[in-house]
């Protein structure tokens, strides 16, 4: 080693002369069963026309073709590498990445950054649907069932940057009173009726009066402000505050909160609560659709619960694929009258765990005489008979409208007389520590019960048992791999669009890794795990 050049920073002069070796194709140094070979072969079958259209045909061409950048990005996702700097570093050190580049110059991290910014959600969804179509030619993708589950992923936003809708509405309601006080002060100063003027009109009037009286604004300690200057500043602050509230309400939309550093993130309670204080963090509700162990679709929603995400997510999948899933399999978080009604109306069969499934197996539930399920129903007279032998007759139909606009109908039944009933304490629930004075009333959603019966027939069948077992393995396993194996527990980008693009690229990496493992383990064509082997 030449020690004279050790401090120059150019390490090429440290070592002596080395024999020059002609560089050959990096493919000779890559094993035959490496995932990068499969990745290159499968992704080469896709049509990148829409991706090419994201780049202008005029001017200087891209340093590296977009489809090669896409391959490199997906390869990085299979290894859990999401940082563009680390991807660029791999392109200089890892022969797998060099082989994918096909001799093109090594791209910098800014090339990958600009590539990600150019990508659109529609283009990635189109590429994913093409990828699934290519897989269906040699693997078991027949759209017979889809497993759906969701999780709350922490957003790339500061924890204490919350904006609450209730707080804004509370302060917004105080603005009219403040305006009245300001109008009264200005009316006394100018002796003009300003009761019908808004903040903008008052500012114009005050500015004109200040100019006519040649009042100079003063600031700082030891200087007394003119009353018109004080009124002008108060009116300006009031107008700015109203505009601020209007802007925040526009950002909120139908949500109850958002983060100042990521306007699309909503504050939710996450499972990772190390302080055990129920702290709210900015997050997104991520929905995955999995079929035959492959991620078929990704959805990003602001809802903290999964109930209201199912219908828009299924509509998204319908627009993404030409084929139609037969069975929708999900957990109890998706059980609702609206969801079941929509799914069956659109020719989907459901295997959704009822929300009261675990509770209905308990002894307490079965002995609860106040529940309609434990009463005797007479279809001929349309009446229920309670444990005391008294009759509950139909009264009227009550209609409730949800936030999504769905109208739920309940048939209301009421007991004729609950006086002097020895089982009243066991039958009627206490309200504020006291028994209700009225007679026993129950609410029956007839159409919902019919849908639950159809769903339960599938849920309790042998095929339903296999679907339930596979839901736990496939879709929950997808979340487990992305969070634990890929170490992807927090988003790296801000904004719903960037978050969804990140997840779609992650889905490509997951699917290619899953395809590689299925080929190596000779499980191609196996759509579902057997119940016994899974247990």
Domain ranges, ordered by start, for the chain: 24-119, 165-259, 376-445
Whether the Cβ atoms of residue 262 and residue 157 lie closer than 8 Å to each other: yes
pLDDT at 527 over 70: yes
The pTM (predicted TM-score) of the whole model is 0.89
pLDDT at 426 over 80: yes
Compute how many other C-beta atoms are within 10 angstroms of the C-beta atom of residue 100.
23
What pLDDT, on a 0 to 100 scale, did the predictor assign at position 329?
A: 96
What pLDDT, on a 0 to 100 scale, did the predictor assign at position 271?
A: 84
What pLDDT, on a 0 to 100 scale, did the predictor assign at position 103?
A: 85
Query: What mean pLDDT do residues 393-413 have?
Result: 92
Query: What mean pLDDT do residues 79-99 have?
Result: 93
115-142: pLDDT as tens digits = 999 999 999 999 999 999 998 888 889 9
Collapse the DSSP code of 352 into the 3-class scheme (helix H, G, I; strand E, B; otherwise coil) and give the result: strand
Q: Taking the mean position of all CA atoms in its chain, how far away is CA 32?
A: 39
pLDDT at 15 over 70: no
CA angle 237, 242, 248 (to 5 degrees): 125
Query: What mean pLDDT do residues 249-270 have?
Result: 94
d(CA 362, CA 360): 6
pLDDT at 29 over 90: no
pLDDT band of 272, cuts 50, 70, 90: confident
304-361: pLDDT as tens digits = 999 999 999 999 999 999 889 999 999 999 999 999 999 999 999 999 999 999 999 9
- 53/533: higher pLDDT: 53
Q: What is the mean pLDDT of the chain?
A: 90
DSSP 169-234: HHHHTTHHHHHHHHHHHHHHHH----TT--HHHHHHHHHHHHHHTTPPP--STT-PPPHHHHHHHH
pLDDT at 241 over 60: yes
What pLDDT, on a 0 to 100 scale, did the predictor assign at position 482?
A: 93
pLDDT band of 13, cuts 50, 70, 90: low
Question: H helices of 386-523, where?
Answer: 424-427, 446-459, 462-480, 496-520
What pLDDT, on a 0 to 100 scale, did the predictor assign at position 463?
A: 94
pLDDT at 500 over 90: yes
CA angle 524, 529, 534 (to 5 degrees): 135
Burial, 41: exposed, middle or buried (Cβ in 10 Å; 0-12, 13-18, 19+)? exposed
208-217, 294-303, 324-333: which has the minimum mean pLDDT? 208-217
pLDDT at 24 over 80: no
């Amino acid at each position: 080693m030449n020690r004279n050049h050790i401090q120059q920073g150019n390490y090429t002069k440290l070592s002596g002369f080395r024999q020059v070796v002609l560089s050959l194709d990096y493919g000779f140094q890559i094993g035959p069963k490496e995932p990068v070979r499969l990745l290159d072969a499968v992704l080469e079958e896709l049509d990148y026309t829409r991706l090419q259209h994201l780049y202008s045909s005029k001017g200087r061409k891209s340093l590296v073709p977009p489809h090669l950048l896409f391959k490199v990005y997906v390869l990085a996702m299979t290894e859990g590498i999401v940082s563009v700097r680390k991807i660029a570093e791999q392109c200089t050190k890892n022969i797998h990445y060099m082989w994918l580049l096909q001799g093109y110059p090594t791209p910098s991290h800014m090339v990958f950054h600009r590539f990600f910014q150019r990508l659109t959600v529609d283009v990635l969804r189109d590429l994913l649907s093409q990828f699934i179509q290519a897989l269906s030619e040699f693997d078991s993708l027949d759209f017979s069932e889809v497993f759906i589950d969701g999780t709350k992923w922490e957003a790339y936003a500061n924890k204490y940057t919350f904006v609450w809708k209730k707080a804004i509405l509370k302060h917004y309601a105080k603005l009219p009173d403040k305006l009245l006080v300001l109008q009264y002060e200005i009316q006394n100063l100018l002796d003009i009726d300003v009761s019908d003027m808004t903040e903008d009109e008052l500012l114009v009037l005050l500015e004109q009066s200040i100019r006519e009286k040649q009042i100079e604004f003063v600031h700082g300690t030891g200087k007394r402000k003119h009353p018109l200057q004080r009124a002008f500043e108060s009116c300006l602050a009031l107008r700015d505050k109203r505009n601020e509230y209007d802007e925040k309400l526009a950002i909120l939309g139908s949500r109850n909160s958002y983060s100042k550093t990521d306007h699309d993130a909503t504050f939710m309670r996450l499972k990772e609560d190390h302080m055990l204080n129920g702290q709210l963090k900015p997050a997104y509700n991520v929905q995955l659709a999995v079929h035959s162990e492959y991620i078929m679709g990704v959805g990003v929603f602001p809802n903290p619960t999964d109930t209201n995400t199912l219908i828009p997510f299924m509509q998204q999948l319908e627009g993404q694929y030409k084929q139609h899933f037969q069975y929708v399999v999900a957990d109890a978080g998706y059980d609702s009258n609206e969801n079941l009604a929509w799914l069956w109306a659109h020719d989907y069969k459901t295997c959704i765990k009822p929300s009261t499934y675990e509770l209905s197996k308990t002894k307490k539930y079965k002995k609860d005489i106040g529940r309609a399920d434990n009463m005797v129903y007479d279809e001929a007279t349309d009446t229920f008979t309670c444990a005391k032998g008294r009759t509950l007759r139909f009264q009227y139909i009550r209609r409730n409208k949800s936030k999504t606009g769905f109208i739920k109908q309940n048939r209301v039944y009421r007991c004729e007389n609950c006086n002097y009933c020895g089982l009243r304490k066991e039958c009627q629930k206490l309200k504020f520590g006291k028994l209700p004075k009225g007679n026993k009333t129950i609410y029956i959603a007839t159409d919902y019960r019919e849908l639950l019966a159809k769903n339960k027939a599938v849920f309790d069948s042998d095929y339903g048992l296999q679907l339930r077992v596979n839901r736990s393995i496939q879709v929950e396993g997808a979340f487990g791999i992305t969070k634990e194996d890929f170490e992807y527990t927090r988003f790296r980008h801000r904004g719903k669009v960037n978050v969804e693009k990140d997840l779609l690229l992650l889905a490509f990496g997951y699917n290619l890794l899953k395809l590689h493992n299925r080929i190596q383990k000779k499980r191609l064509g196996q759509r579902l795990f057997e119940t016994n082997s899974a247990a």
